[in-house]
């Protein structure tokens, strides 16, 4: 079983934005959607291992800051060239103002 | 039965076009013809990661398995030698011929040759993976590399060469590096980064002569100074590959001239990427030719849609990037469209210059900073440019105002 890990406070991320979270030698990206829901994916783009947290969030899409690879951060689906490998996603919950992610 | 789609040039643009045809559901024959022995691969790493890696490999756009799965026939190590427009046939250097319904020319560009006598085996250019490997073999401690041309390829190579311990001299005929398309304020930062890393940059220096004896190169500058090097890499720009198109009688105008849908003067022949000039809608149809990875990718995909009859006009904003040492530069739009500049500081030394035209319209944004510090705001600027927005200069200049909020306005 994997544990829930506290990533940040809910207010640390603006709406429709993203933040980097490093834990246990791994890096993740935590998202807050325009609808005020939270999501988490692997932190690096599947194209060239660039930190996605430097990228732009528009609606449910995160765009890689380097080569504009796009993913749906809610599902991890790759959305067109140059990315073709999906992002791994992780369960997220908000508890007492804290964003927790379940790292598998 | 469909004669099919033929794509000449198996680089970023051609490769993306082939994949896009299948993604769009086209089920006739798709043939991709390339003159290199490799799978379609990404060129941007050639002056960066390929140099840094101990075991350089091509970064393929599609594997053999993907090409097979999508029934894309890839003919490699072969050149297209003629287009017979009336019968819709392309003749190849191996003697074979391919029939087509629509033809895409994605022939790219080739390094501009230094028009001087005296160049030999120690004077090289960078375009292909093979070129990159040949250059890389010389980048070792103690070796002296002369780079002719202070543009992106030369400067990225200079950074890579310094990391590998070679000594580097950059020779630029213009008064400063990156004269074309990069504001002086940003070029100065890149210049300083190179100097701090030990690169000798000589600007405002024309070359009087080059002597290459096969062992070393001696470059004599107009001012009389001599530079001896084990290798000279010439990076003075690129020219579009238009020979095939010109021979076929297609209109050439700083590249293969295409309309907004990337159609050449022959309605069944399209051109895309570095090899073509096209009207850029965001600047009122100004005809441009771009040598940029993302443009190659986007135009490859757009050409595929239009080969299938989409009738879609090009609408993208030019964008490119460069990485040198820990710095990354990104530029959206063409800054020569601007008449005034607003600066926005982002912290950690990162900043963006917003270029506005005489009507206050945002026409370009140039940013530089560590890592990907400018990426998000440059992307937002690109959207503002695409919308032909006229954001208030005070808002652009203020870190307190989010660029995203201007997009909604």
On whether any CB of chain A is under 8 Å from the CB of B371, the answer is: yes
pLDDT, tens digit, for every residue of B308-317?
999 999 999 9
Report chain A's mean pLDDT, rounded to a whole number.
Answer: 93
Rg (CA), chain A: 13
pLDDT, tens digit, for every residue of B352-397?
999 999 999 999 999 999 999 999 999 999 999 999 999 999 999 9
Nearest-Cα residue of chain A relative to residue B41? A82
pLDDT, tens digit, for every residue of B162-214?
999 999 999 999 999 999 889 999 999 999 999 999 999 999 989 999 999 99
The single-letter DSSP state of residue B80 is E
On whether any CB of chain A is under 8 Å from the CB of B321, the answer is: yes
A contacts of B297 (beta carbons < 8 Å)? 81-82
Nearest-neighbour CA in chain B from A32: distance (Å):
15
pLDDT surpasses 80 at A80: no
In this structure, are residues A57 and A16 in contact, taking their beta carbons and an 8 Å threshold?
yes
pLDDT surpasses 60 at A1: no
- Beta strand ranges found along B272-397 (DSSP E): 276-280, 286-288, 319-324, 327-333, 340-347, 350-356, 362-370
pLDDT surpasses 90 at A104: no
- Tokens 């469209």 map to which residue? B337
Average pLDDT over residues B61-85: 97
> What pLDDT is attached to residue A68?
86
Which residue, among B302, B303, B270, B305, has the nearest Cα to B26 in the 3D structure? B305
- Tokens 């203020």 map to which residue? B398
Structure tokens of B347?
Answer: 């912290």
Which of B297, B371, B373 is facing A82, going by the closest CB pair?
Answer: B297
pTM score:
0.94
On whether any CB of chain A is under 8 Å from the CB of B404, the answer is: yes
> What pLDDT is attached to residue A67?
87
> What pLDDT is attached to residue A49?
86
Identify from A18, A45, A57, A66 which residue to disrupt to test chain B contact, counting B C-beta atoms within 10 A and taking the largest count.
A66
> What pLDDT is attached to residue A48?
84
Structure tokens of B225?
Answer: 């100074």
Note which residues in 10-39 of chain A have CB less than 8 A from chain B: 16
Characterize B322-333 residue by residue with b for buried, 16 or more Cβ atoms within 10 angstroms of its Cβ, and e for exposed: bbbbebbbbbbb
Average pLDDT over residues B16-29: 97
pLDDT surpasses 70 at A28: yes
Average pLDDT over residues B36-48: 96
The single-letter DSSP state of residue B105 is E
pLDDT bucket at B1, cuts 50 / 70 / 90: low
Nearest-Cα residue of chain B relative to residue A65? B375
Burial status of residue B188 (CB atoms within 10 A of its CB: 0-12, 13-18, 19 or more): middle
Which residue, among B98, B105, B204, has the nearest Cα to B150 in the 3D structure? B204
Percent of chain B with pLDDT over 90: 97
In this structure, are residues A87 and A46 in contact, taking their beta carbons and an 8 Å threshold?
yes
């Amino acid at each position: 079983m994997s544990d829930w890990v506290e990533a940040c406070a809910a207010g640390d991320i603006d709406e429709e934005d993203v933040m980097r979270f490093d834990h246990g030698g791994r890096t993740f990206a935590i998202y807050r959607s325009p609808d005020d829901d939270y999501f988490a994916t692997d932190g690096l783009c599947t194209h060239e291992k660039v930190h996605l947290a430097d990228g732009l969030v528009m609606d449910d899409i995160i765009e890689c800051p380097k080569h504009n690879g796009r993913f749906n951060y809610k599902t991890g689906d790759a959305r067109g060239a140059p990315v073709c490998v999906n992002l791994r996603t992780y369960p997220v919950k908000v508890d007492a103002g804290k964003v927790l992610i379940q790292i598998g | 039965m469909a004669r099919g789609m033929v794509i000449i040039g198996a680089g970023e643009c051609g490769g993306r076009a082939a994949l896009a045809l299948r993604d769009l559901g086209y089920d006739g024959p798709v043939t991709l013809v390339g003159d290199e022995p490799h799978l379609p691969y990404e060129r941007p790493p050639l002056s960066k990661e390929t140099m840094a890696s101990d075991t350089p490999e091509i970064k393929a756009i599609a594997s053999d398995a993907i090409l097979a799965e999508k029934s894309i026939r890839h003919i490699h190590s072969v050149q297209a030698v003629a287009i017979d427009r009336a019968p819709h046939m392309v003749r190849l250097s191996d003697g074979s011929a391919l029939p087509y319904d629509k033809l895409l020319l994605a022939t790219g560009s080739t390094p501009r040759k230094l028009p001087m006598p005296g160049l030999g085996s120690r004077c090289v250019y960078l375009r292909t993976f093979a070129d990159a490997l040949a250059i890389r073999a010389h980048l070792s401690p103690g070796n002296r590399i002369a780079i002719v041309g202070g543009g992106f390829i030369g400067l990225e190579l200079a950074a890579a060469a310094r990391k590998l311990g070679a000594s580097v001299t950059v020779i630029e005929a213009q008064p400063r590096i990156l004269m074309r398309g990069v504001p002086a304020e940003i070029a100065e930062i890149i210049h300083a980064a190179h100097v701090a890393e030990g690169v000798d940059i000589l600007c405002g220096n024309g070359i009087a002569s080059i002597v290459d004896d096969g062992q070393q190169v001696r470059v004599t500058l107009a001012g009389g100074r001599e530079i001896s090097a084990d290798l000279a890499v010439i990076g003075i720009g690129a020219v579009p590959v238009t020979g095939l198109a010109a021979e076929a009688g297609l209109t050439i105008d700083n590249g293969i001239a295409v309309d907004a849908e990337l159609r050449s003067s022959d309605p069944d022949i399209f051109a895309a990427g570095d090899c073509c000039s096209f009207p850029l809608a965001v600047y009122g149809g100004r005809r441009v030719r771009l040598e940029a990875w993302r443009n190659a990718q986007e135009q490859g995909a757009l050409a595929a849609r239009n080969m299938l009859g989409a009738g879609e006009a090009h609408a993208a904003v030019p964008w490119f990037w460069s990485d040198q040492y820990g710095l990354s530069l990104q530029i959206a739009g063409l800054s020569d469209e601007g008449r005034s500049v607003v600066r926005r500081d982002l912290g950690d030394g990162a900043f963006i210059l917003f270029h506005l035209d005489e009507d206050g319209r945002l026409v370009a944004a140039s940013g530089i900073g560590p890592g990907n510090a400018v990426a998000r705001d440059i992307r937002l600027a690109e959207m503002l440019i695409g919308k032909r927005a006229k954001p208030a200069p005070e808002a652009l200049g203020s870190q307190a105002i989010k660029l995203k909020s201007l997009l909604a306005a």
